[in-house]
Amino acid sequence: MVPLVILEPKLLDNAGPFRRAAFVLALHDLDRALGQRGGRLHVAHGDPTTVLLQQLDEPGTDRIYANADVSRWAQRRDRAVDDATDQAVEWSWGTLVQRPGDVLTKAGTLSKVFTPFWKRWAAIPLPPEAVEGTATPRDDQGIGLPPVLDHQPIRPTSNWEQLVEDYESGRDTPSISGTSRLSTALRFGTVSARRLAEEFGTHTSGRQGFVRQLAWRDWYAHTTLQFPDIDRRAIRPEFDTIRWEQGPDADRDFAAWQSGRTGYPIVDAGMRELAATGWMHNRVRMIAASFLVKDLLIDWRRGERHFRHLLSDAEPSQNAGNWQWVAGTGPDAAPYFRIFNPVTQSRRFDPDGLYIRQWVPELAALDNSAVHAPWETAPLDLAAAGIVLDDTYPAPIIDHAVARDRTLAAYSTALER
């Protein structure tokens, strides 16, 4: 057996530093595991179709086993592999719990609403677990692995058992380890989504809440297989007519959002965490994404591309699916008129300001009531905390109430066209 990975130059070049580092680290871990069986990971570089045809020319090589994917790029690549060889290709879906096509409505279609999908998903048996084989891996490194990079991905939370029990009460608090941080491992398949679903089950509310997130992953993946342009077209096409803000002012606001300098502390904390670690707490992702789309009225696709570049766990189906949910443009998305108030969200989910103080340290001296909205604090109190708005920390780049009215008008106009 030839354990083969093909490094595709364009994919590597387009990946951000954290995702590239996570991918390379996963390859090294796989290589070590193969070494325990007397083999090595064979590394090739180039077009997958060309490389596979070269491998199939070697004696005794007569079958390809590969993991399928749902992105537009992956679908095009996999069709090319199927078309290029007469040998059988056995596709697996190792990064999902249920295979696309296995969770359908009574009419035989994929549900456009998540809750019916979840009920059907939870009711059908898990697919058979992979069985350990007996093949001997070949000891040939090919061109060899690239070196491990400095950008280390976020490590999963260690105490999974307690985490899933407390999942419903802890997952929305960004200052604690209330989420599994398994998203990068799930993205690269170094943890089995199917095994997690089996191990944790749904017999408590916390466990059900955790496993439900695995179903969301599957739903977005199944949706993307049917709608591969999920990252560049609204699934609800009427919202592709929204007149997003453009031009120098929009570019300035987008840059402020990217750099964590919007003047809204919870948004800035999230964007700084992303830039520093390649990860962001899920609740804060929703707040930061909503702020870009619903406060700044900037096209969700710009935000999706920025997240996809920096997130170590980014994959088109999950990232674009969640951005369309926030923007109100996707299936079963948040209604377009649901607009997060960043200050309300901050006070609710980071009440003591611990997350904000970690990532926006210039606000650390403010008390818990002021740290969420420093512009509401008297100048003398700000000065006592060492803060001067638009100097040491920016004033809000937009008024939320004004922004909300503008966004509702833009969405309403799009629906009327």
Which two three-digit tokens encode residue 95?
């990064």
Q: What pLDDT, on the 0 to 100 scale, is given for residue 415?
A: 92
Q: H/E element holding 92?
A: strand 88-92
Give the residue-averaged pLDDT of 41-67: 88
Q: What pLDDT, on the 0 to 100 scale, is given for residue 295?
A: 98
The mean pLDDT of the chain is 93
Classify 389 as helix, strand or coil: strand
Class of CATH domain 237-416: mainly alpha
CA atoms within 13 A on the CB side of 75: 13
Do 260 and 1 form a contact (C-beta atoms < 8 A)? no
Do 226 and 220 form a contact (C-beta atoms < 8 A)? no
Q: How far is CA 37 from CA 1, 142, 145, 166, in A?
A: 12, 18, 18, 38
Do 233 and 329 form a contact (C-beta atoms < 8 A)? no
Q: pLDDT tens for residues 345-378?
A: 999 999 999 999 999 999 999 999 999 999 999 9
Tell me the fold of 97-125+159-226: 1.25.40
Give domain limits for the chain.
Answer: 4-96, 97-125+159-226, 237-416
Q: What pLDDT, on the 0 to 100 scale, is given for residue 162?
A: 81
Do 324 and 242 form a contact (C-beta atoms < 8 A)? no
Do 97 and 118 form a contact (C-beta atoms < 8 A)? no
Q: Options 3.40.50.300, 3.40.50.620, 3.90.76.10, 1.10.3720.10; which CATH number does 4-96 get?
A: 3.40.50.620
Give the residue-averaged pLDDT of 294-314: 97
Kind of pairing, strands 42-45 and 63-67? unpaired
Question: Which of these, 383, 177, 174, 346, lies nearest to 262 by C-alpha position?
Answer: 346
Q: pLDDT tens for residues 33-45?
A: 999 999 999 999 9
Percent of the chain with pLDDT over 70: 100
Classify 391 as helix, strand or coil: coil
pTM as predicted: 0.94
Q: pLDDT tens for residues 83-120?
A: 988 888 899 999 999 999 999 999 999 999 999 999 99
pLDDT range class, residue 58, cuts 50, 70, 90: confident
CA atoms within 13 A on the CB side of 253: 23
Q: Compute the distance between CA of residue 180 and CA of residue 154 in angstroms, rounded to an integer.
A: 10
